[in-house]
């Protein structure tokens, strides 16, 4: 899978972009992406965020995501996307969408990792047969942040037991939670390792042990959008992005 969006400014390199969320631009944006891809359809097309932006992403717009979703449904009806879904929506926004949609979203893409398991959101999606796709699945595993890091004794012991890497243990944990992790990598051997997680299973006791790392710590937290009426995350007072200071960083779970 190649995960891209217009906001990432990588569409020219890989050919699959999201474009803006403006309702009148959804189908047209997808058609332009398909031209660059030299394809007639994509397997999955997502609303990247319930917050809409101007085409140059210089500022956001107040456009109802229900209007955007109607155009997503039109793209699906035209056969331009085999499946349509959403990203970074909270439970309240999903409930509103489900009440008004004609085509139910197939996927919700959100942050899920050891530190931020989002059990209520995952359960909600599973109850409504919506697949949860987990971005940032490693959390702070390989960088500064709350434990665990890759050197954590518990993770290393499990990796040794199953003859896997720590990263593979984490990905397997997420799969057994019922989510589809999408780890980012440009390294061929690591990409191959990331998919090599289906020849073992963690025990219920091991799953419970790993679940204790969940402290509702959100790694990806764009607080500079929080005055938008459709901001999907919990609000905070500080303007910087989710700083980790000592044992702080425990955030309330969003709706």
Domain assignment of residue 130, yes or no: yes
Query: Which residues form the domain of 219?
Result: 6-225
> 69: which 2 tokens?
């979703």
Our count of domains for the chain comes to 1
Predicted local distance difference test score (pLDDT) of residue 19: 41
Asked if 126 and 178 touch (Cβ cutoff 8 Å), the reply is yes
Note the pLDDT of residue 249: 38
Asked if omega into 131 is within 30° of 0 (cis), the reply is no
124-161 pLDDT, tens digit per residue, is: 999 999 999 999 999 999 988 899 999 999 999 999 99
Can you tell me the distance from the alpha carbon of 155 to that of 158, in angstroms, rounded to the nearest whole number? 5
Domain-located, residue 246: no
214 is written with which tokens?
Answer: 């969940």
* Of 154, 158, 255, 163, nearest in space to 212 by CA: 154
Is there a domain that residue 82 lies in? yes
pLDDT at position 14, please? 53
In a domain, 36, yes or no: yes
Tell me if 251 is assigned to some domain. no
Average pLDDT value for residue range 197-201: 97
Active site includes 162?
no
pLDDT value at 47 more than 60 = yes
CATH, residue 142: 3.20.20.100
The pLDDT-based confidence of 202 (bands split at 50, 70, 90) is very high
How deeply is 197 buried, as exposed, middle or buried, from its count of CB atoms within 10 A (0-12, 13-18, 19+)? buried
Q: How high does pLDDT run on average in the chain?
A: 86
pTM as predicted: 0.82
pLDDT in tens, 56-109: 777 888 999 999 999 999 999 999 999 999 999 999 999 999 999 999 999 999
Residue 237 covered by a domain: no
Any domain includes 240? no
pLDDT at position 60 is: 83
Predicted confidence at residue 12, as pLDDT, reads 63
Given 8, 65, 135, 230, the catalytic residue: 8
pLDDT of residue 240: 44
Is 179 within 8 Å of 132 (Cβ atoms)?
Answer: yes
What is the reported pLDDT for 17? 42
Q: pLDDT tens, 204-245?
A: 999 999 999 999 999 988 777 888 899 898 877 644 444 333
Query: Is residue 189 situated within a structural domain?
Result: yes
């Amino acid at each position: 899978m190649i995960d891209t969006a217009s906001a990432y400014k990588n569409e020219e390199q890989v050919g699959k972009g999201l474009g803006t969320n403006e309702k009148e631009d959804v189908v047209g944006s997808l058609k332009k992406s398909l031209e660059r891809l030299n394809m007639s359809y994509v397997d999955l097309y997502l609303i990247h965020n319930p917050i809409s932006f101007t085409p140059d992403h210089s500022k956001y717009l107040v456009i109802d995501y229900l209007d955007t979703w109607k155009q997503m449904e039109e793209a699906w009806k035209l056969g331009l996307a085999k499946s349509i879904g959403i990203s970074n929506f909270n439970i309240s926004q999903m409930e509103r969408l489900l009440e008004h949609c004609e085509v139910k979203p197939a996927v919700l893409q959100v942050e899920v990792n050891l530190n931020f398991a989002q059990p209520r959101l995952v359960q909600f999606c599973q109850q409504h047969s919506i697949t949860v796709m987990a971005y940032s699945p490693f959390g702070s595993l390989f960088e500064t942040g709350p434990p665990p890091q890759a050197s954590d004794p518990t993770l290393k012991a499990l990796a040794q037991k199953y003859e896997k890497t720590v990263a593979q243990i984490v990905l397997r944990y997420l799969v057994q939670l019922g989510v589809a992790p999408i780890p980012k990598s440009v390294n061929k051997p690591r990409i191959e390792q990331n998919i090599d997680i289906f020849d073992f299973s963690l025990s219920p006791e091991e799953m419970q042990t790993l679940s204790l790392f969940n402290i509702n710590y959100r790694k990806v937290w764009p607080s500079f959008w929080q005055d938008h009426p459709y901001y999907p995350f919990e609000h905070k007072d500080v303007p910087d992005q989710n700083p980790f200071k000592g044992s702080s960083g425990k955030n309330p779970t969003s709706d």
